[in-house]
Amino acid sequence: MSAIPSAGMPKPATLPKVTEQTLGNGLRVVAARRAGVPLVNVMIRIPTAGKPLSRVRSRMLEGSMMLGTTTRDAVHLAGDLQVLGSELSVHADTDRIVLSGVTLANGLPGFLEITADVALNAAYPSREVVGEKERVRSDLAYMRSRPGAKADEAMSRRLFGDHPYGAPLPADSALDKVSASLLRRLHAERVVPKGATVIIVGDLSPTQLIGEVDEAFAGWRGEPEGSPIRRAKVRTPSGLELVDRPGSVQTVLMLSGPAVPPGHEDEPALALANMIFGGYFSSRLVANIRERNGYTYSPRSQIHQRAAASFLTVQADVATGVTAPALLEMQYELGRIASLPVTDAELDSAKAYLIGTSAIALSTQAGVTAALTRLAAFGLPWTHVRDHGRAVAKVTAAQVRAAASRYLAPTALTAVAVGDAGLVRHDVAAIYPLD
Amino acid sequence: MKTTTSFAIHRELLSNGLRVVVSPDPSAPVVGVAVVYDVGFRSEPQNRTGFAHLFEHLMFQGSEHLGKMEHAQRVNGAGGVLNGSTHPDFTNYYEVLPSTALDLALFLEADRMRAPALDQDCLDNQCAVVKEEINVNVRNAPYGGFPWIALPAVLFDGWATSHDGYGSFEDLEQATVEDCKDFFQHYYAPANAVLVVSGDVEVDEAMRLVHKHFDSIKKRPAPKRPSFAEPVPTTVRHRVHTDPMAPEPALALGYRVPDPIKAKPDYFAAVMLTEILTAGDASRLVERLVLTEQAATSVQGYMGPFGDPFEMRDPTWLTLEVHYPHSTDTTKLIALIDEELVRLAEGGVTEIEIARVRTALDAGWFSRMDQLVERTLQLGQLELIHGRAELVNEIPLLLRAVSAADVQAAAQRLVNSGRALLEWQAGAAQ
């Protein structure tokens, strides 16, 4: 018993057959069938990136939209959803407002009626909005006390400056300016069907699914003030911004720089370069600063693709006492992947992982719904999943190196550290220029 | 519309005592493999807090035929994901991969069940990693360990349930390779584990591969599991803690609940009670505390330290976790909570109320069981803890069988029992 069984290259993911239709009010409906569990998943994506919403406004919209409609208060809304075995939640950021939910299949008509009630008739009752404001205030206080969120705040400002992406943690003074009447106006302007997409995946025929959406949302009207999305420039000022957090037993190290959106010609090679560098457990970053050196628990490198910009972030939360050595190793691994070709074994492993995990993700209704929403968000055809898998399979080590030298080189990234400055400043400054 | 799921369950027992559960589901070309060992942090030695979790890390550090990072590399390189976790009553290990990798997955699990590497370098390295895990999740984070570490310390007297399962740095540093070898010998016998194979598999082929890889692991006795039972408190155990990183206060209440295995109907009633009290905006405590009184920012209720009601043996508990702003008086907040609990205990719940909570629970369960990772792990822990993997299909039915009267009785038991009351004060500068 000595031969380790081989696994072969995983088969690429396949989406179920997608059917789409644009309704009279401009609402685009995208439907697919996935059997297995008696559920239906729904996502309604309303783009806002053409006229980006500030973080504080999107956060307040998100938290207040389900506080009541013209006919249901928050408690009735919640109760009516439960009766159908449904969940519905609202998520909003600079780029989009999403109403997403899941329901027992036999509760679909009722679920869509409630969702439409929220989309068309959200009331933003004054007393409830005041309550939500206080909850958001608490939430912001909590985020400010988390070192990872502090790092994200500093890095966002560094990368994006005055663009709404640059301010993920608004000040309390910005929160004070949001009122129920402002939210009602924002809702009337932004929560409109033209330009929006409904993704619906369930154990029913696509025709049936589209028909249900059409019936529920027939009364929805409105056009956005659209403008094309203005790309946000990703800046990478040289130097490291050290944010003092006295008493921290760890330093959050963060390195970020530009990346590319889905569909870009560099994207498959960059996805693989990032994976090999730090995108999964079997990466160089993990092998070095976690498994060899024990500096950290979950180092990672992730690509973020947003409507107006794409960027990548390398992050490690390391023991205070090894801040400089850890940063040095991160720089070393960046330099190494940017300068030298990766091995065939590393390349094959990363390809298999990307292809295999894509297939795993598409094995559930929720996964199919998320994948279709992402494709809709970036205006990509349904064949993109298959095409992307094929493109990934063909990437060469030379292409990975070209992508790495462009996007993962030490000089391509800017740096932030959040930790006990008194303890770490001197050692960090010896290996990395501070701001 | 189906009334519940009908995941197929096939069960076998190997001659070395390993319990095997195979659950075919051809709907996607992926397989899940999990091993659930009947040892968790309740069982670790008293001078070795955090040992079970540290040992879990070591199980990923190589085995007879595999080098230090090779288990993960082979799973990732086959297009799969993997992880493991340590719980009070068990430790689980899993991978989900394309179906062509089943042979590999079973090889990997058998190799470490048979002979994990367990050497000093890996021990030193993973001790450092675990310390950073504790740092990032507990020591460098506001509300770190609240309430999953802090509340059992108040509610329980027995060391097994009350101690910190993450461990102290001092204890972690004391762990030796000999400790690891003893722990492995004692607790990682095949007879002390359940192996799950689920997803795109056929029973015959899956069992052929299971026999191929696991038959050669020699039988050794499973350890006798001690009872961790202790009396239910009759008084309020009040503790106050100041968290220097927390910007706002919080409160955790802990109540003992019936035995999930021996008193299933009463336990399921307590599960329903938790949902009625805290699930969503229409629930008793969220509506009253968050929406009506605006006295709390959030209210959550769940079983055990991690919220999975079916992962614990007795003794276990219900947690009510409330976060609130400085402007709320803590004593008034506790009084509001008590008012709602008593109102339910005295007035009961309506049929409409319980019907909608039942439906919501069903949908939530179906949604979770659609995820192969979740389903694979649940099959293993339901077989291990409850002796019945079929519960994966039966739990919705058992929850539906809980009546309004059952919920009211559960509320009455709660209100008439002692409890732990943990005040978490905000120490961060405003």
What confidence score (pLDDT) does residue B430 get? Answer: 66
Could you tell me which residues are beta bridge partners of residue A21? Answer: A29
Average pLDDT over all residues of chain B: 96
Question: Quick one: closest CA in A to B27, which residue?
Answer: A36
Give B332-371 pLDDT, tens digit per residue. 999 999 999 999 999 999 999 999 999 999 889 988 998 9
B28, amino acid identity = A
Question: Quick one: closest CA in B to A79, which residue?
Answer: B282
- To the nearest whole angstrom, how far is the Cα of A231 from the nearest Cα of chain B? 34
Residue A415, classed as helix, strand or coil, is: strand
Q: Within the 320-339 window of chain B, which residues sit less than 8 Å (CB to CB) from chain A?
A: 323, 325
Contacts with A103 from chain B: Cβ below 8 Å = 363
Contact state of B30 with A359 under an 8 Å Cβ cutoff: yes
B159-175: burial string, b at 16+ Cβ within 10 Å, e else: ebbbbbbbbebebbeeb
Question: Is residue A380 pLDDT above 70, yes or no?
Answer: yes
Alpha-helical runs (H) found in B156-288: 159-162, 169-174, 177-187, 203-214, 264-278, 284-285
* pLDDT average, residue stretch A107-132: 97
Contacts with B216 from chain A: Cβ below 8 Å = 1
CA distances for A385 relative to A38, A376, A377, angstroms: 26, 12, 14
- To the nearest whole angstrom, how far is the Cα of A51 from the nearest Cα of chain B? 31
What confidence score (pLDDT) does residue A149 get? Answer: 98
What confidence score (pLDDT) does residue B106 get? Answer: 98
Contact state of B72 with A282 under an 8 Å Cβ cutoff: yes
Tokens of A434: 């501070």
Query: Phi and psi at residue A319, in whole multiples of 5°?
Result: -55, 140
Contact state of B281 with A86 under an 8 Å Cβ cutoff: no
Out of A36, A107, A318, whose CB is closest to B370? A36
- To the nearest whole angstrom, how far is the Cα of A279 from the nearest Cα of chain B? 11
Cβ within 8 Å of residue A59, ≥6 positions away: A92, A136, A170
Tell me whether B428 touches chain A (CB under 8 Å). yes
Query: Phi and psi at residue A193, in whole multiples of 5°?
Result: -80, -30
Report the phi/psi class of residue A201: left, alpha or beta, with left for phi > 0 and alpha for psi in -120 to 50.
beta
What confidence score (pLDDT) does residue B1 get? Answer: 40
Tell me whether B355 touches chain A (CB under 8 Å). yes
B220, exposed or middle or buried, with CB in 10 Å at 0-12, 13-18, 19+? Answer: middle
Out of B69, B107, B367, whose CB is closest to A102? B367
Question: Is residue B26 pLDDT above 50, yes or no?
Answer: yes
Model confidence band, residue A2 (pLDDT cutoffs 50, 70, 90): low
Average pLDDT over all residues of chain A: 96
Which region among A1-10, A211-220, B143-152 has the lowest average model confidence (pLDDT)?
A: A1-10
Give B302-334 pLDDT, tens digit per residue. 999 999 999 999 999 999 999 999 999 999 999
Q: Within the 204-233 window of chain B, which residues sit less than 8 Å (CB to CB) from chain A?
A: 213, 216
Question: Quick one: closest CA in B to A134, which residue?
Answer: B297
Strands in A208-281 per DSSP E:
240-244, 250-258
Strands in A124-215 per DSSP E:
197-202
Closest CA to A414 of A242, A259, A256: A256
Q: pTM to 2 decimals?
A: 0.97
Report the phi/psi class of residue B140: left, alpha or beta, with left for phi > 0 and alpha for psi in -120 to 50.
alpha
* pLDDT average, residue stretch A130-153: 97
Question: Is residue A47 pLDDT above 60, yes or no?
Answer: yes
Contacts with B142 from chain A: Cβ below 8 Å = 142, 145-146
Task: Give the C-alpha separation, B61 to B288, whole Å.
Answer: 50
Question: Quick one: closest CA in A to B31, which residue?
Answer: A360
Give B46-82 pLDDT, tens digit per residue. 999 999 999 999 999 999 999 999 999 999 999 999 9
Contact state of A37 with B103 under an 8 Å Cβ cutoff: no
Model confidence band, residue A364 (pLDDT cutoffs 50, 70, 90): confident
Contact state of B107 with A5 under an 8 Å Cβ cutoff: yes
* pLDDT average, residue stretch A288-297: 98
Residue A89, classed as helix, strand or coil, is: strand
Out of A359, A364, A365, whose CB is closest to B29? A359
Task: Give the C-alpha separation, A132 to B129, whole Å.
Answer: 39
Q: What percent of chain A has pLDDT over 70?
A: 100
Give A302-342 pLDDT, tens digit per residue. 999 999 999 999 999 999 999 999 999 999 999 999 999 99
Closest CA to B166 of B289, B18, B50: B50
Question: Quick one: closest CA in A to B68, which residue?
Answer: A291
What confidence score (pLDDT) does residue A9 get? Answer: 81
Contact state of B281 with A75 under an 8 Å Cβ cutoff: yes
Residue B429, classed as helix, strand or coil, is: coil
Give B227-274 pLDDT, tens digit per residue. 999 999 999 999 999 999 999 999 999 999 999 999 999 999 999 999
CA distances for A134 relative to A50, A78, A90, A140, A175, angstroms: 29, 21, 18, 10, 9
CA distances for A415 relative to A418, B106, B140, B163, angstroms: 10, 43, 21, 39
Tokens of B43: 């069982």
Query: Phi and psi at residue A303, in whole multiples of 5°?
Result: -100, 130
Contact state of A39 with B363 under an 8 Å Cβ cutoff: yes
Strands in B40-133 per DSSP E:
81-86, 91-98
Task: State whether ipTM is beyond 0.90.
Answer: yes
CB B361 within 8 A of CB B269: no
